[in-house]
Amino acid sequence: MDTVFPTDYELHLFHEGTLFEAYKLFGSHLLQSEEGVQTRFCVWAPNAAEVRIAGDFNNWNGEAHPLQKVNQEGVWFTVIQMNLEGQLYKYEIVTKEGKVLLKSDPYAFFSELRPRTASIVYGLDEYEWNDVKWLQKREKSHSLAKPMVIYEVHLGTWKKKNGKYLSYQELAAELIPYIKEHGFTHLEILPLVEHPLDISWGYQGTGYFSATSRYGSPKDLMYFIDQCHQHEIGVILDWVPGHFCKDAHGLYAFDGDNVYEYETEADRENPVWGTANFNLAKNEVQSFLISNAIFWLEKYHIDGFRVDAVSNIIYWPNRQSTEENPFGTAFLRKLNEQVTLYDPSVLMIAEDSTDWPQVTAPVHYGGLGFSYKWNMGWMNDVLSYMETHAADRKHEHGKMTFSLMYAFSENFILPFSHDEVVHGKKSLLDKMPGNYWQKFAQMRLLLAFMFAHPGKKLLFMGFELGMFSEWKDQDQLDWHLLKYDMHKKMNGYVKELIKLYKRSKQLYEVEQRHEGFEWIDADNKEQSIFSFIRRGDDPEEFYVVVCNFTDRSYADYQIGVPYEGEYREIFNSDLEVFGGTNQINKKLLRSMEIPFHGKQWCIQMTIPPFGASILRHVKKRKGRKGNGKEKLRSHAVSRGTGKQA
């Protein structure tokens, strides 16, 4: 049972910035006593002259239910001798100037459906979880040596029903089987904190402890996450600890003064986003935010966080030079330390576009302590290269190789996120230059290059449909496209590519060390062909990857290989079943003892237009030929789309 009155120790920890379960003290809580169920309220409003509770139960007149100020630092508290479960309420805060503000509870567990903004008294402890096997498995596993393909989703626009959002229950029935069918390992959900504006996608929050009511109740969300875990899908929550919404009912100027936000305007305001920056120098704000992370882990069994806009925390906003915000970096270290202490298997992922060093190094080694960092440099370079016409790519060649200069400096995730396919940036498919066929071929090539490149993978919903339209952020995905041949083939291609990746230790076991990657030829800019080797823990188990970024094809293209023997093509993006021209390597490729590309041996192979080929060295064993289960499917004669050289 929760304690009735705040203890001196709890208050000390809160003001010290170390009350990491502050949600157990603050907010509204139902307490069982001999007299029955009581409802306790506790809030931090350091500059308030008075604080009262107004709600349905008192006709929104708070004068009958004042809170008592329990310390000089501004914690207010009361117990109402009623069971107020399900009741609407707000804090009625009287400022020093005598102005009355109606504020939602910063620690509320549930809120009214927008556009209404009241908090709801709600208990979270009745749901019975059935994911113990998943949590035990997560605790024992190490994600760095595992395949990871993250499907980033905005729940409101993945699919709709009669123009309305699917509920958490409906999403469990439809989204989870879809993720399983395609082979994604994780689901990353755009922010689920309560927020007033749909088109903010949750990035401008007001209720950090309140799962948005757009899709159902908190217990419905628990059911959805529970079902994900029972189907072996990890759930990552997009989380925004840097800035918050300025709507009148929210955290901004909470008691008439700057409580949660920086006091100086330059540090506080985000003109572009229309938000306010959290004052990370305040101990109480640190208690609020870190306890919020622990809350989502404890109450919702979240598997990790994608931490939004880390650069806006590392550096002071609105300053011309990149000047470190020491309060921001100290907060990030403290956050990651506490999450690691709670559960080392939780993923902490930094959305960071800066060159700040050691983002994914442990705090005790001087790092920020994240598990992974989005590789924004790779994403920007690769998309810029792909949007260049094929004939001109030789002038942009370095954009495809530069990432390997720093690929092992951090634990990276390669992201093609929602930010890349919205607000006029075009969909991934439509970014590809050329005609209809060439767009699909280059999209397949891009995805193959991504999956062969070191780093975990993240892709935003809709890419697997081959959508020509960018994310419209209010309408559902273009599901009708699956009626058309090339889109259906693209969808099949994605499934096969993920299947190959997940069964290929060469593509994920050694992603953080140089030993896992070796260039064969990084310098062929005239033909825009890249070839490299990927290895797993066993250095003799390797893949040869060849990617051709032009529309020319080659019948006898020569590349160096590290060992003599035979090589089998196990994957080719140009297969007819994927929509390609079927210029593939059906037969085993025998090495020749001719030094090439710095190797003692070489092979000659077919290179398809805008195609990616993956080869595996065939090791002879007694009593059998070859050792791979992979078989390249051959199909009908090429349609002759590419140019033969």
The conformational region for residue 459 under phi > 0 = left, psi -120 to 50 = alpha, else beta, is beta
User: Is the distance from CB of 167 to CB of 216 less than 8 angstroms?
Assistant: yes
Residue 251: name the closest of 311, 201, 209 by CA.
Answer: 209
- From residue 335, alpha-carbon distances to 166, 241, 286, 328, 456 in Å are 33, 10, 8, 10, 23
DSSP string for 421-483: SSTTS--HHHHS-SSHHHHHHHHHHHHHHHHHSSSEEEEETTGGGT-SSPP-SSS---GGGGG
Give me the pLDDT at residue 404, please.
96
pLDDT band of 631, cuts 50, 70, 90: very low
Angle (CA) 641-643-645 rounded to 5° is 150
Chain-wide mean pLDDT for the chain?
A: 94
**Percent over 90 (pLDDT), the chain:** 91
Give me the pLDDT at residue 318, please.
85
pLDDT band of 3, cuts 50, 70, 90: low
Give me the pLDDT at residue 319, please.
84
Provide the edge-to-edge strand list for the sheet that holds 612-618.
Answer: 517-521, 529-535, 542-548, 612-618, 566-572, 589-590
Give me the pLDDT at residue 626, please.
43
| Residue 418: how many other CB atoms lie within 10 Å | 22
Cis peptide before 115 (omega within 30 of 0): yes
Does position 233 have pLDDT exceeding 50, yes or no? yes
Q: Which of 255, 267, 308, 420 is an active site residue?
A: 308
Question: Running DSSP on this structure, what letter comes out for residue 263?
Answer: S
**Percent over 70 (pLDDT), the chain:** 96
222-242 average pLDDT score: 98
pLDDT band of 625, cuts 50, 70, 90: very low
478 carries an active-site annotation? no
Lowest-pLDDT range of 82-96, 284-298, 612-626:
612-626
pTM of the model: 0.94
Give me the pLDDT at residue 460, please.
98
Give me the pLDDT at residue 33, please.
83
pLDDT tens digits, residue range 324-367? 999 999 999 999 999 999 999 999 999 999 999 999 999 999 99
- The most distant pair of C-alpha atoms in the chain lies apart, rounded to whole Å, by 92
User: Is the distance from CB of 166 to CB of 215 less than 8 angstroms?
Assistant: yes
Does position 621 have pLDDT exceeding 70, yes or no? no
Q: How far is CA 487 from the centre of its chain?
A: 25
Does position 93 have pLDDT exceeding 80, yes or no? yes
1-23 average pLDDT score: 90
308 carries an active-site annotation? yes
The Cα–Cα gap between 105 and 112 comes to 12
Give me the pLDDT at residue 4, please.
84
284-299 average pLDDT score: 98
Tokens of 344: 């080392």
Q: Which of 351, 352, 551, 569 is an active site residue?
A: 351
407-434 average pLDDT score: 96
Does position 10 have pLDDT exceeding 60, yes or no? yes
Does position 376 have pLDDT exceeding 80, yes or no? yes
